């Protein structure tokens, strides 16, 4: 059978770099691997062809000779010129975890905790002690799952304690993870009574989590290593703290600015007044000048939220002039007299609007 160009075999351009070559090889090797295609001579042939192509093109010197002289530069065309020893090492490095040659370290499961904060706590930052359920290593058996600890483990009879089984596929000898012991090479003789052989038990864990100033509702704080323990030497999982900020009766946030609407009476707005307004630090007095219009913003410096160690933002107080309702006859009479006494230049906004309306 005529041999195909190695670049064509891998489906890559002639200037493909090492990353592209490796990705193409991995996809094709997985597709045509004998384990995936038992008793399929055509797939085995394609697998050998792909392996030879990658063995040559992944080696800079062999690739240079192939580019210059073709198949003759890498050993002629007498069959597949794969260096089986080198290829087996390469295949194990790429697919060892997939086929179980290596004992996979299993990371611990991540945990999720929903933390409810007040508006002030989220805006200014805080520390919270939280308690949550989590599995931890069984202290009775040291996490082995066996009665008596590690001494209660015995060699797996299915794999002879190696944790893997040899499988012959054509001229390849591959290793598969032993399903009996999960690749551990050891099995439990008698299960630990405390954890029923699981190696972990349910427990309550307490942890203090720091919430930075300016934390937004729905944000997540990841605490590395505070999840469930890993197995077979794997790292512990993480704790993901999801923040929920309770709505405030007065405040809302726009970045580092804290907004607050404060109602004032018609008389306070017209005559001026000193009013009490809420802030994150407690109540403060604020002066409303005479003639203040509804919607006017007043800035209180440094009374807002903080973020990232920067100085605190400002608080913006918006004055909302409240129109009185349910007037008595006397009040109505007085307001009518007041209205008649107000000159045009005392209501510049209304006068200006009426003027523009006439001109439009």
DSSP 8-class letter at 177: E
Residue 63: CB atoms within 10 A of its CB come to 19
One domain, residues 112 and 228: yes
Q: What does the pLDDT read at residue 288?
A: 96
One domain, residues 289 and 351: no
Whether residue 304 is contained in a domain is answered as: yes
CB 292 within 8 A of CB 269: yes
Whether residue 72 is contained in a domain is answered as: yes
Q: What does the pLDDT read at residue 289?
A: 97
Question: What is the span of the domain harbouring residue 310?
Answer: 251-323
Q: What does the pLDDT read at residue 87?
A: 45
Number of domains in the chain: 5
One domain, residues 117 and 223: yes
One domain, residues 267 and 289: yes
DSSP 78-140: SS----HHHHHHHHHHHHHHHHTSS---BPPPPEEEEEEE-HHHHHH-EEEEEEEEEEEE-TT
Q: Tell me the pLDDT of the chain (360 aa) as tens digits.
A: 568 899 999 999 998 888 888 888 888 888 887 767 777 888 888 888 888 888 889 888 889 888 988 888 776 543 444 443 444 444 555 555 444 444 556 788 888 999 999 999 999 999 999 998 888 888 888 888 888 888 888 888 888 888 787 765 554 556 677 777 777 788 888 888 888 888 888 888 888 999 999 999 999 998 898 888 877 667 888 999 999 999 999 999 998 999 999 999 999 999 999 999 999 999 999 999 999 999 999 999 999 998 877 889 999 999 999 999 999 999 999 999 999 998 888 888 888 888 888 887
One domain, residues 15 and 59: yes
Whether residue 58 is contained in a domain is answered as: yes
Q: What does the pLDDT read at residue 108?
A: 82
pTM: 0.57
Segments in the chain forming alpha helices (H)? 6-10, 18-32, 41-57, 60-69, 84-99, 119-124, 266-271, 329-341, 348-359
What CATH number is attached to the domain comprising 83? Answer: 1.10.287.110
Whether residue 88 is contained in a domain is answered as: yes
Can you tell me the distance from the alpha carbon of 192 to that of 146, in angstroms, rounded to the nearest whole number?
Answer: 5
DSSP 143-157: TS-BTTGGGGEEE-T
One domain, residues 28 and 133: no
Q: What does the pLDDT read at residue 34?
A: 72
Closest CA to 303 of 124, 127, 133, 134: 124
One domain, residues 211 and 340: no
Q: What does the pLDDT read at residue 124?
A: 93
Q: What does the pLDDT read at residue 199?
A: 83
One domain, residues 151 and 233: no
Q: What does the pLDDT read at residue 262?
A: 97
Whether residue 303 is contained in a domain is answered as: yes
One domain, residues 44 and 72: yes
Q: What does the pLDDT read at residue 95?
A: 53
One domain, residues 129 and 236: yes
One domain, residues 277 and 302: yes
One domain, residues 241 and 177: no
Whether residue 318 is contained in a domain is answered as: yes
Domain boundary among 154, 178, 195: 195
Whether residue 40 is contained in a domain is answered as: yes
b/e per residue 172-209 (b: at least 16 CB within 10 A): bebbbbbeebbbbbbbbeebbeebebebbbeeebeeeb
Whether residue 328 is contained in a domain is answered as: no
Can you tell me the distance from the alpha carbon of 298 to that of 279, in angstroms, rounded to the nearest whole number?
Answer: 13
What CATH number is attached to the domain comprising 319? Answer: 2.60.260.20
């Amino acid at each position: 059978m005529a041999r195909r160009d190695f670049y064509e075999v891998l489906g890559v351009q002639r200037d493909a770099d090492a990353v592209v070559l490796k990705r193409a090889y991995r996809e094709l090797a997985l597709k045509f691997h004998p384990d995936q295609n038992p008793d399929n001579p055509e797939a085995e042939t394609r697998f050998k062809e792909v392996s030879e192509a990658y063995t040559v093109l992944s080696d800079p010197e062999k690739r240079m000779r192939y580019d210059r002289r073709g198949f003759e530069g890498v050993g002629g065309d007498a069959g597949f010129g794969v260096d089986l020893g080198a290829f087996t090492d390469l295949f194990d490095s790429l697919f060892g975890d997939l086929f179980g040659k290596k004992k996979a370290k299993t990371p611990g499961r991540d945990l999720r905790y929903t933390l409810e904060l007040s508006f002030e706590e989220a805006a200014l930052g805080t520390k919270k002690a939280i308690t949550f359920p989590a599995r931890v290593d069984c202290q009775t058996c040291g996490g082995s799952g066996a009665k008596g600890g590690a001494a209660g483990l015995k060699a797996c009879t299915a794999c002879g304690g190696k944790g893997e089984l040899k499988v012959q596929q054509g001229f390849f000898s591959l290793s598969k993870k032993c399903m009996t012991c999960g690749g551990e090479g050891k099995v439990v003789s008698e299960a630990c009574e405390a954890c029923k052989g699981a190696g972990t038990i349910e427990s309550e864990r307490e942890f203090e989590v720091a919430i930075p100033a300016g934390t937004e509702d729905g944000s997540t704080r990841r605490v590395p290593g505070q999840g469930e323990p890993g197995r077979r030497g794997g790292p512990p999982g993480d704790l993901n703290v999801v923040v929920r900020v309770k709505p405030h009766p007065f405040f809302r946030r726009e970045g580092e600015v804290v907004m607050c609407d404060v109602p004032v009476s018609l008389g306070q707005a017209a005559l001026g007044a000193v009013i009490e307004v809420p802030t994150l630090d407690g109540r403060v007095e604020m002066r409303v000048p005479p003639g203040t219009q509804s919607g006017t913003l007043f800035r209180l410096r440094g009374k807002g939220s903080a973020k990232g160690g920067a100085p605190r933002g400002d608080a913006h107080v918006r004055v909302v002039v409240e129109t009185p309702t349910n007037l008595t006859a006397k009040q109505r009479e007085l307001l009518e007299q007041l209205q008649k006494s107000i000159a045009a230049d005392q209501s510049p906004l209304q006068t200006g609007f009426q003027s523009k309306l006439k001109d439009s």
